[in-house]
Structure 1
Amino acid sequence: MSRLGAGRHAEDAGPAVPDGLRTSVHELTTADGAAVTGVLRVPAGARTVVTLMHPRQDVTHHALVPYLLAAGHAVWTQGSRSPNNDLNLLHEQALLDFAAGHVFLRDSGFGHVVTLGHSGGATLAAFYCQQAALAPGDRLATAPSGRPVALRDATMPEPDGAVFLAPHPGQGALLQRVIDPSVTDENDPLAADPGLDPFDPANGFREAPAPAAYDADFVARYRAAQADRIRRIDATAAALVAEARSANRSFTAHPDAYQRRRALAPRLITVYRTDADLRNVDLSIDPNARPYGSLFGRRPDLTNYGLVGFGRLSTAAAWMSTWSANTTNADFRRCAPGVRVPTLLLEFTGDQASFPSDIAEFTQALGATDLTVDAVPGTHFGRPIAEGAPSGNELAAAVVEKWLAARVS
């Protein structure tokens, strides 16, 4: 039997690397002094560069890279200050990381810089576009926890265009969709309220892979309970932030070794069971062409209890900045009106995290007057929907290349 998470990512290698490709690795310094790295690939004669970044993941080998290179575009894949480690991820700091890459690309002499955000990278790019378009003094001065951020001091060039591929609504809004509200004890990964258990047959679940069938009343109670659980964790995060501030004040007043340790000691938030979006097992809710299963595997009733999942471990400041739907600034819909550069919004028709209702909402919210909305068959990570069909990434790349060709020379 294949492992539970098998088949998440697309396996197509894409076209061959073009002859004459130059590849270089660069370390950059952000406006607040952090170090970030990126990989620049430049085909001969390239004048346009497409930049990819994700707040939590390494995108060096993103599936669209070879397609963009084959089309003659340079590609910049950038990491954050803590790639593949979101324990203390502040989206406001990730914007400073992203900004350093944009400054580097402008200074490198490219004629056009276009950002391509996939999944959570799309929300990061929308957040960046929103803040970059503001006068420096109007940008955010702090993260939601109150921690100062240097956005007002940073150079933040706007891109010449933005591609949003399979955008979900943001890490916080996404977590509220997938969090299991039946948890009754945040310290016990197995504690459950049977009346809210999404994988209890009494509530409409059927043994996988038969689709579940939840009634409207259960769906409404479930979603309300998801929001309630997020609010309870918000309260915990706020209390931990207040405790940290108190410790820092105590250290300032009494700078002895104990107070210094107290000021430095983290209080981490552990969140169990975050793979429980009803839509992943009841395909009649927000219907599209998605297969049964979630982003994390084909058996959400099992992976929900496993190690991998969104927002599983974080500092209180990271919870408030990234994972809380109520306090995060990185929300696609709220950032979308500030995106005014030419924009391509591209949907995968079998997406398990970005649904038709999301795309409709984002279409209405985006501020760009030059807005193209399109869709191609594929799952969230660009796998084909049907066996033997072209991959979603191949089809998406063709749409992106056509859109770029009409806007850059």
Structure 2
Amino acid sequence: MTTTDPFLGGSRPFGLGYWPLPDDDPGVGVQREAVRLVSPDGALVRGVLWTPPIGTPWKTAVILSHPRGDFSVHYACPLLAAAGYAVLGFGTRYMNNDTDCLHEACITDVQTAHDEMVRRGAEAVVLLGNSGGGSLMAMANAELGIGDGWVGMAAHPGEGVFMLQVIDPSVIDEADPFATNPELDMYHPDNGWRPWPEPCTYDPAWVERYRAAQIERVARIDAVAKESIDASREVLADLQTVNKGDDPAAWRELRRRAVFTKYLTIYRTLADPAYLDLSIDPDDRAMGSLFAFPDPFDANYGRGGLARTMTARGWLSTWSGLSSGARLADTMPQVKVPTLLIHPTADTEIRVWQAKEIVAATGA
């Protein structure tokens, strides 16, 4: 059976079943249980508990999640369960929508899952993080002291650090997605770009300037986000001096300004020169990006990229490489439990040198 994309045309297979390939099916009858938990601050944490076949005892639990991804059906869950572990794959309160994602709240959800597995009898709980889940689980261990082991699978240095390498620094007006400084545009022929699928060649000195400009753009967005939050805090202080019963009109005006949430629209967030120039940080990857379809140029300007709409606080907590507390460079030195990092050398997003830095930074 096939289904047709109503917008782009074409068809794709439908109803293939859970396993992409027959060899992926462990075929040993692992068990599944829907799990619904409530965090201490009232958030819903949902997932699937995978356990070994009936009659097979388990002692160690593995929990895995991602700031916005649904890891209840992560491919590692049934395989680890078949190997004898209890595995709780779950989604945080921000599953499928990280617009207001606060890592500081996400780690509360991680602790909720951790404590549930301890309640169920786990003698040890391993924190497993895939992609952005790696920095989430490391932050949970560093900040909350939970977990008896940390495993990173294709773990990048942090959501914000990743944004630093993919954000388009040629944007000169955050309100205009087409406003561009051509000298900093990786998709401009004068800088080495060629139309897909031709490979591109960027001068190393230009790339160095490009990377510095990426940091500068993130800093500008940070400044806007912080200004909005500071303004709300100042009004909140004034609000404390007004009695809503005595002066409801004044209280109303201050209240709406105190709770105001600024939303940031962040255009063009798929612009890493290494996508199109494989001589930059060479490894086994193919040209292009996991987030493109298939040309990063189209995804940079169209549907694609990350962090396109964020609250001010969500941007600072999750996607700012300058402000987020979920940076492995900061948290890994505090991760002193047994640590394992698995890096796929054909990953289009994470470089070998980054994986080596994560290992070098760990306190284990």
TM over 0.5: yes
Cα deviation code 1:32-79 (max 9, x no counterpart):
332322221212323322111101111111122222122232210121
1:62 aligns with 2:57: no
Unaligned runs of 5+ in 1: 134-157, 369-409
Matches within 5 A, 1:8-27: 11-12=20-21, 14-16=24-26, 18-19=28-29, 21-27=30-36
**Counterparts of 2:269 and 2:132, CA distance in 1:** 16
Cα deviation code 1:13-38 (max 9, x no counterpart):
7214532x432222223233323222
Structure 2 counterpart of 1:382: none
Structure 2 counterpart of 1:233: 221
Deviates more, 1:179-188 or 1:353-362: 353-362
**Structure 2 residue matching 1:24: 3-state secondary structure:** strand
Structure 2 counterpart of 1:252: 240
* Paired residues of 1:15 and 1:70 also in contact (CA < 8 A): no
Structure 2 counterpart of 1:269: 264
1:323 aligns with 2:332: no
User: Counterpart amino acid of 1:350?
Assistant: A
**Counterparts of 2:150 and 2:272, CA distance in 1:** 29
**Structure 1 residue matching 2:215: 3-state secondary structure:** helix
Unaligned runs of 5+ in 2: 13-18, 245-250
Structure 2 counterpart of 1:111: 123
**Counterparts of 2:304 and 2:196, CA distance in 1:** 20
* Paired residues of 2:47 and 2:71 also in contact (CA < 8 A): no
**Counterparts of 1:249 and 1:308, CA distance in 2:** 40
2:361 is aligned, of 350, 362, 365, to 365
* Paired residues of 1:18 and 1:69 also in contact (CA < 8 A): no
Matches within 5 A, 1:5-404: 11-12=20-21, 14-16=24-26, 18-19=28-29, 21-43=30-52, 44=54, 45=56, 46-133=58-145, 158-254=146-242, 255=244, 256-297=251-292, 298-368=294-364
Cα deviation code 1:237-257 (max 9, x no counterpart):
110111111232343333433
Structure 2 CA distance for partners of 1:247 and 1:18, relative to 1, 3 Å:
farther
Deviates more, 1:24-33 or 1:236-245: 24-33
* Paired residues of 1:52 and 1:78 also in contact (CA < 8 A): yes
TM-score (norm 2): 0.88
**Structure 2 residue matching 1:348: 3-state secondary structure:** coil
**Counterparts of 2:304 and 2:205, CA distance in 1:** 30
**Counterparts of 1:172 and 1:82, CA distance in 2:** 16
**Structure 2 residue matching 1:240: 3-state secondary structure:** helix
**Structure 2 residue matching 1:60: 3-state secondary structure:** helix
* Paired residues of 2:270 and 2:296 also in contact (CA < 8 A): yes
Larger Rg, first or second structure (1 or 2): 2
* Paired residues of 2:168 and 2:269 also in contact (CA < 8 A): yes
**TM-fit CA distance, 1:109:** 0.2
Query: Considering only aligned residues, what root-mean-square deviation do their CA atoms show, in Å?
Result: 2.2
User: Counterpart amino acid of 2:98?
Assistant: D
**Counterparts of 1:26 and 1:101, CA distance in 2:** 10
**Structure 1 residue matching 2:343: 3-state secondary structure:** strand
**Counterparts of 2:235 and 2:43, CA distance in 1:** 25
* Paired residues of 2:263 and 2:310 also in contact (CA < 8 A): yes
Structure 2 counterpart of 1:374: none
Structure 2 counterpart of 1:402: none
**Counterparts of 2:44 and 2:110, CA distance in 1:** 11
